[in-house]
Structure 1
Amino acid sequence: MTWVAGADGSAYGVTNLPYGVFTHDGREPRIGVRVGDFVLDLAGAEAAGLVLAAGALGRPTLNDFMGLGRPQWTAVRQRLVELLTDEAHRAEVEPLLLPLAEVRLLLPFDVADYVDFYSSEHHAGNVGQIFRPGQPPLLPNWRHLPIGYHGRAGTVVVSGTQVLRPSGQRPGPDGPTYGPSGRLDIEAEVGFVVGVPSPLGAPVAVDDFADHVFGVVLVNDWSARDIQAWEYQPLGPFLGKSFATSVSAWVTPLEALGDAFVPAPRQEPPVVDYLRDEPHLGLDLRLAVEWNGERVSEPPFATMYWTPAQQLAHLTVNGASLRTGDLYASGTVSGPERGQVGSFLELTWGGAEPVRLGGESRTFLADGDTVTITATAPGPGGTTIALGEVTGTILPPR
């Protein structure tokens, strides 16, 4: 039970406590934690001696705090629960609570590197059928390693940032043409934020996942499908992806998701040794996609073929180092049913099967469209935890 008004029973109660960065009354960016519909000013709390984190909570991003490691993350989280549940601390803490509606949320961490995976068997199979009709939906290597690509860290933006329609080369009947993308799409994903770095040349084992990953964000990897279709062979995504990737403003600590880990799908054939994670666990995250306020899909993250621990092990197995602030995303989350897909490419089957939206027949994104992705997870004692939403609106190209 918390003494914070309205927080008990909220999906942002003391079993959640996600971290973010905000500004208020024109002040410098500062770290906060969400509880109910309030933001607790952690910079102020540390300055007052209410919580100790080696000064890291006074920084303008989460990076220094994330770099401290799991023992410090755990100690701060335990102290925050104590401050927010014990009435003895109320007089000191309550003045540091700010109404959520009065703050402006910023990108919560400086993104070091960005990697995007392709880990849903259902999504990969659907895309294979759409992009490569008449061929096997999955390429021969897909069940042997988590496929991924390196994205552009500099175009990762916080939820609420407007997205300009990208331009580029598109395939045409008489050769490539140049202009604004006409097949602009979304990808509903889950992102994992690295706190503790690793040295160059030292792979990170699957068992060390929780020692390095600080928390989880929702991701929308906006995708220009016509640009992507022309450029992706033989080297994969490039300009069709790099113009913008949106992430939620709140980072849900991995510790808040302790009750959300569930058995992941069985992998066949058996994976090579460095990818064997025992127990083989995914996360029971239940996503929802709203297109102009209308729910069009509910992707289930628990169906993902490759787990977050396997993804981390694979992206470092060649000796690539981790840096504080690295972000790696799951890839599009899609389930086995049409109403569980995480992209409009799949929802409309490449545009061949439009959906009804607001009384209109629609395929891909139009200027002015807004897409919002939300997610929930089971919490302790039957509670529900919400991940911070990620939303964006499409603007015309410049």
Structure 2
Amino acid sequence: MSDIEERCADLPRRRHARRTGSIASAALAGIAGTCIAVAPGHATPVTPIAIVDETTDVAAFYTAPEDRVAGPHGSVIQLRPIDGDPGIPGARNYLVLYRSVDMQGNSTAVSGTVAVPEGTPPPGGWPLISWAHGTTGVDDSCAPSHDTSDAFPAHDYTSLVRKVQAQWISAGYAVAQTDYQGLGTPGPHGYLIGTAEQRAVTDMARAARQIEPEIGTRWVAMGHSQGGQAAVFADAQAQQWAPELQLLGAVALAPASHQGIGIQASQLATAVGASTTLGPLTGGATAFLPLIIRGAQTVADIDPARFLTPDAAAMVTLADVGCIAQLRSPQQWGGLTASEVFAPDGDIHALTRVLNENDPSTLTFAQPLLVLQGRADATVPAAATDVMVVRQRAAGQPVQYRGYPGVDHRGVLEASYADALSWVDGRFGR
């Protein structure tokens, strides 16, 4: 074995030692570019990994040189250790840039984080949860891995998610979280485009194992809201996308569904003057509309001017510079009613076609799905999730469903944790 091969083979131990201070970051940086990482299930080297020192400008981390983006999906481009946010307490944390495939078939760089429990892994390696986050926005500044302080626009949400993820770490699970394609990294973000989301989630699981070989091959997809939809798509598509890993099932918390029907209903209500009655049915989704449009535009030619009022069409670009908290403000989309958004006679067919194609209700999957829903949710209405589950069960899909009276959209994260843990432990035979 050559000196380089010895250093590469020893890299996982060196990463652990770096955490305790015995190996300096400079030593890791010295290996960068020389190690050839071998993805699990591959007999030959697939791609070099760059290990980025903490002193490197973090903003530059998210833009990889073009000649390094091409490569097997799920392979790591570069990584850096994380101290503090957005890391999870009680774990070794990494900021990761890895490869996935966009909806046009092109290799694309995706960012995310990986957290691995301290200590000795169980036989078979750490069980893995690949977490799909809820809506933060489509602008790069909204990526959860950018959350390093309470100044982050979605810190109130992402910090809540990390508290729940810390419980999973304490329970002995590794947690990997993608930012999704085009969120934090160059290119558009395919918001609510299920296949693009599941590729990011599944390739994150692959990348996590390449970083930490102590992570096992068995995993569960888990997500909330936008990520709940992504988790259902992962349940349906991930095993084929990453056959060397064993998907045991998926957990979908308040999954987004029936977006196309909701928009059709909003436009119809505008036409008949009844838009104020739709809140309980649509989840008050006005602020999400520019994100939905931007997501649909990644896969189809969508012209907002064909179905929005002139004032609303001019405001779509606000999604390109702000996150969901800004869009919800009364000065932006949060101050608009459906009657001020939709042109009564507008043509929304192109948009609703994309949304209907990405509705998780019609997917088929072999691995079980656990759906968890707050009954007082005003963002993803319980009625919409009820219908999704009814449709899935009618088609013979293996779905379990649990509701939580009085629990809202974010509250379901904590309220459902014990049930989710019991179910996931059961999947792993723990």
Q: Give TM-score, length-normalised by structure 2.
A: 0.25
- Bigger relative CO (Cα 8 Å, ≥ 6 apart): 1
Q: Which has a greater percent of strand? A: 1
